[in-house]
């Protein structure tokens, strides 16, 4: 989905002692969503919902468009509506809140006729909005690099949840909504892996979408470090990781960063591979680390080993500059 570009006059560069230190949005773009007259839109009768949607399909509520549909904010609610071009006014012919796993991953809240849908509306901006302006993009990415590790970890869980449902993330610059106020990174477009088979590299996908259109050396390294930290959160003892150990593409991530940083990391990559093999050896009684933790057979000795080896892996990954 294409998101309307936010005019640059809606971006304020904050300064202190004549030194640039960040980016913030004007209040009207950074405010909380307004609830629909004290009740949720989806609790209303179908006829009222359709009337509300019809009243919202106006230029002032237009959010963006893609090759198949356009999207409008449903005014005074926390929702937006996606209407395929082929639907016209026929979207109102059906309405259901019975959703598939694919629907839920794509933030759909109700299905309408002819492929139309009511979706969650997310405040924020996408990397694509700064594609053509290096100055604002650099500030935007610096702010991304300052988000807490938990923000990155939450994004990883979204991507991993999709993989569990045989879905993959379309990691383009228009498919990530960044809300600095709530420190939230939201992926908004997933598709069935069978529709376009490709290698699945969750960590590389995170790094790519967060640094798309280019990033300064220091900013790119900071984002890389946050992706590493977010992934290693899943290796903490007594925590069930969001995906199997084989899915943690640390080697590809390091190689991706190595390509961006233009220096050699062959020795580091070998050590990372050796570490992952050791993790598999520690997982002697189950096929994957995830299976071990689910079966609750990690003892204190194994937990201690895991913590030590995870620390070693972090040290190796952070060698990549």
Do residues 138 and 214 lie in contact, with contact meaning Cβ atoms separated by under 8 Å?
no
Count the Cβ atoms, other than its own, within 10 Å of residue 194: 9
Q: Is residue 245 part of a domain?
A: yes
Residues 115 and 131 in one domain: no
Which of 97, 120, 143 lies at the terminal end of a domain, its last residue?
120
Do residues 245 and 232 lie in contact, with contact meaning Cβ atoms separated by under 8 Å?
no
SS (H, E, C) 73-95: ECCCCCEEEEEECCCHHHHHHCE
- Express each pLDDT in 198-240 by its tens digit: 889 999 999 999 999 888 989 999 999 999 999 999 877 667 7
Residues 80 and 105 in one domain: yes
Count of structural domains, the chain: 2
Residues 243 and 307 in one domain: yes
Alpha carbons 163 and 157: distance in angstroms, whole number: 10
* The pLDDT of residue 7: 40
Alpha carbons 70 and 85: distance in angstroms, whole number: 7
* The pLDDT of residue 8: 38
Look at residue 68 and give its three-state secondary structure.
coil
Q: Is residue 17 part of a domain?
A: no
* The pLDDT of residue 88: 83
Residues 149 and 69 in one domain: no
Instruction: Supply φ then ψ for residue 301, to 5 degrees.
Output: -65, -45
- Give, as one character, the DSSP assignment of residue 125: B
Residues 41 and 178 in one domain: no
Q: Is residue 280 part of a domain?
A: yes
Residues 300 and 156 in one domain: yes
The whole domain housing 311 covers: 127-317
Q: Is residue 75 part of a domain?
A: yes
Q: Is residue 14 part of a domain?
A: no
- Extract the residue ranges of the chain whose pLDDT is less than 50: 1-38, 285-287, 295-297
Residues 220 and 308 in one domain: yes
* The pLDDT of residue 302: 62
């Amino acid at each position: 989905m294409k998101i309307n570009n936010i005019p640059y006059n809606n971006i304020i560069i904050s300064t202190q002692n004549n030194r640039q230190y960040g980016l913030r949005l004007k209040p009207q773009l950074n405010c909380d969503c307004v609830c629909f007259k004290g009740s949720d839109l989806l609790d209303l009768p179908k006829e009222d919902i359709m009337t509300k949607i019809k009243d919202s399909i106006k230029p002032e509520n237009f959010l963006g468009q893609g090759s198949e549909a356009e999207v409008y904010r449903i005014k005074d609610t926390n929702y937006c509506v996606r209407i395929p071009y082929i639907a016209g006014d026929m979207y109102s012919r059906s309405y259901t809140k019975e959703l598939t796993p694919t629907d839920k991953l794509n933030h759909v809240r109700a299905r309408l006729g002819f492929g139309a849908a009511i979706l969650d509306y997310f405040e924020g901006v996408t990397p694509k909005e700064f594609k053509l302006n290096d100055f604002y993009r650099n500030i935007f990415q610096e702010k991304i690099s300052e988000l807490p590790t938990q923000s990155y970890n939450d994004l990883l869980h979204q991507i991993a949840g999709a993989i569990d449902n045989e879905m993959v993330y379309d990691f383009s610059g228009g498919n990530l909504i960044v809300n600095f106020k709530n420190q939230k990174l939201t992926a908004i477009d997933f598709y069935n892996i069978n529709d376009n088979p490709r290698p699945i590299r969750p960590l590389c996908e995170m790094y790519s979408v967060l640094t798309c259109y280019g990033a300064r050396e220091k900013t790119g390294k900071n984002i890389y470090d946050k992706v590493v930290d977010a992934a290693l959160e899943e290796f903490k003892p007594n925590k069930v990781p969001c995906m199997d150990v084989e899915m943690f593409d640390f080697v590809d991530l390091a190689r991706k960063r190595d390509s961006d940083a233009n220096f050699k990391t062959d020795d580091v990559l070998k050590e990372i591979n050796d570490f992952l093999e050791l993790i598999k050896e520690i997982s002697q009684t189950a096929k994957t680390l995830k299976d071990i933790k689910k079966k609750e057979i990690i003892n204190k000795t194994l937990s201690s080993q895991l913590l030590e080896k995870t620390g070693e892996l972090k040290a190796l990954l952070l060698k990549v500059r």
